Every structure is written in C-alpha cells, then in structure tokens.
Amino acid sequence: MAVFGTLLTIKLEMTATTDPMESLLSNFDQIYEDFKSSIAEIKLLRSNCNGEIKKREALEITCHSLKQENERLTKLYTVSLNNLADQLEYHSKCQIMKEEHKKVNNEHRTKEDELRRAIDSLKEDYSKKIKDLESQISGLLLEKATNEATLDHLRQDLVAHKTHMQTLATRLDQVHFDVESKYNLEIQDLKDCLLLEQEEKNELNKKLQDLEKECMPFSFVCDIFMV
C-alpha cells in the first residue's frame, strides 16, 4: 500500500514537474524503502483478506448507495438544469415581455397624451359653450325679471281696472236705481194726472150732457121759428 501511495505521489510529482526522469532519480531511495515495507504489508494483508472482503462488501454496499445517491443527484442536477433552462427561457420571455410592455407603455403614453389633448380641447369648447349659455341665461333671467315686473304692473293695472269697473258698476246700479225710481215717480204722477183729467173729462161730459138737456127745448123752438 505504501508503494502504491509512493507511486501515486511520484506520478503526481511527475505530472507536476517538467522533467520525469529527474523526479524518479530523486525518489529512488524512497521507492526501495517503501518496497520492503510493502512486502511486510502484503503478508499482513493476506492474513486480513477476509476482513478486507467484508470491507469490500461494505464498500460495494456503500458504492451502491453512492451510485443511488449519484443517480439521485444526477436527477436533481437534471432537474436543476431543466429549471435553469426554464429560468433562462423565462428570462428571455421576460425580456421580450419587458420590451413589449415598454412598447405598450409608450403607445399607451402616446394615446394618453392624445386623449389629454382631446380632453383639453373639449374642456375649452365646453367652457366656451358654458360661458355662452351663462350669458344667454343671464339675458333670459333679465328678460324674465323685466317680464315679471311688467306682469306685476299689468296685474296691478288689472286690479285697479277691476276696482274701477266695480265702482262704475256700483255707480251704474245706483244710477239705474235712481233713474228707475225717478221714472216710477214721474209715471205715478202722470197716472195721477190722467186720473184727474179723466175725472175732469167725465165731469165736463156730464155738464155737457146736462147743458144739452137744458138746451133741447130751446133748440126745438128755434127750429120751429126757422121753419
């Protein structure tokens, strides 16, 4: 075992140095000493062969376990590589999505600027229209106030005319009543006069008849004389 270790060391040194022959010459004594000790170790190894076999079996078991662990680690490594590939693909997709998002943001910002300008223009138009409507409303309110004042004045005039008409109607009724009373009195006076005249006429007719009766003999005599 020591020889093998020495050979391994020499091999490593030969690999590390630039001149293998120089390394072999410098280590020759050490090889010889290691060879003698190795013979003693071989004898010892022969007596411990069974133990080594058991160790080999244990190592095989350990190797199998390590193989299984290696397979597990290989699977994990594969999964890790797949994950890394997925991450790289995801990163690439994210980069593409970032660029698309940036492009969409720029387009959105452009549309927002256009929309803002359109809204500002609409605000100006509506502000102008609102001012015009407010001016029209002010004019209409002033006209309404004027019309209401005129309407109140006309109402007052109407009330005054109604009062005057009621007064005239009252006076007309009074005049009509006075005239009717006056005419009734005059008519009654005329009736009384007619009655008096009728009575006088009747008396005159009666007197005339009496005179005719008185004059009839005288008339008869006159007639005779005229014959």
Cα distance between residue 12 and residue 158, in whole Å: 135
Task: Give the closest residue to 14 by CA, choosing from 5, 23, 3.
Answer: 23
Cα distance between residue 193 and residue 191, in whole Å: 5
Quick: pLDDT tens for 88-106: 887 888 888 888 888 888 8
C-alpha radius of gyration, the chain, whole number: 79
144: helix, strand or coil: helix
User: pTM of the prediction?
Assistant: 0.32
Q: For the chain, which ranges sit under pLDDT 50?
A: 1-5, 7-8, 10-14, 16-18, 221-222, 225
State the pLDDT at residue 218: 52
